[in-house]
Amino acid sequence: MTTLYIANKNYSSWSLRAWLLMTELRLPFEEKLIPFGDPTAWNAFRAEGGSGKVPALQDGSLHVWDSLAIIDHLAECHSEVWPADPVARAWARSVCAEMHSGFPALRELCSMNIGVKVRLNTLPPELARDIERIAAIWLEGLSRFGGPFLAGDRFTAVDAFFAPVVFRFETYSLDRSPAMAEYIQHMLAQPGMQAWAQQALTEPWIEPRHEADCELAGKIVEDLRGPVSA
């Protein structure tokens, strides 16, 4: 049995990457969700080893953590994780690594929160630079490899890695070109993205720190969730 440990779907961008890849590629797994703010659950999870952070994958006797390591592990057994074309595969791996280690302003100023719509107070230069670089990556991939996904005609790990950015563009109404808007809509139409978003909107918890991040970034103009509890 393969088990994927994740956190709240409304907030956990790193969890989304591994979950979405496995879901879209129809790789069987059991999901275990550990809510933010549940110290008992988190302490038990940390006792199992690794970094004590999500996502983490238990694959038989193997324990793999960190989203990039999980994708590499899955790729050892499933060739469809990465593009088949070597040029597209090299590009996809490069921009996944860039996403994994970069874009600090986007992470800090536009944290993932599927449940709300936010009007940003300002667009700081460092955030504008991150958005500009994401635009360049998406447009390069779509133009070089023909779309409708970033590295060609099928969903691969590079789309999973940029999936949280797709949700951020919607939450914060970030500017996008027509080609980017088409990619965003195509991604939002994928079954895994729809299932994740629907489940995020019906989660029974809020996490104060993540909510505060959104309130600091701008004015919350719409709450898409049903009744929730702290």
3-state percent breakdown (helix, strand, coil) of the chain, nearest 5: 55, 15, 30
Taking only the tens place, the pLDDT of each residue in 108-132 is: 999 999 999 999 999 999 999 999 9
The domains of the chain, with CATH numbers, are 2-80 (3.40.30.10), 82-196 (1.20.1050.10)
CB 151, CB 145: distance < 8 Å: yes
**C-alpha closest to that of 110 among 222, 213, 37, 224:** 213
Whether this prediction's pTM lies above 0.85 is answered by yes
Average pLDDT over residues 208-223: 94
**Cα(24)–Cα(11) distance, rounded to whole angstroms?**
20
Taking only the tens place, the pLDDT of each residue in 162-187 is: 999 999 999 999 999 999 999 999 99
The β-bridge partners of 58 are 3, 63
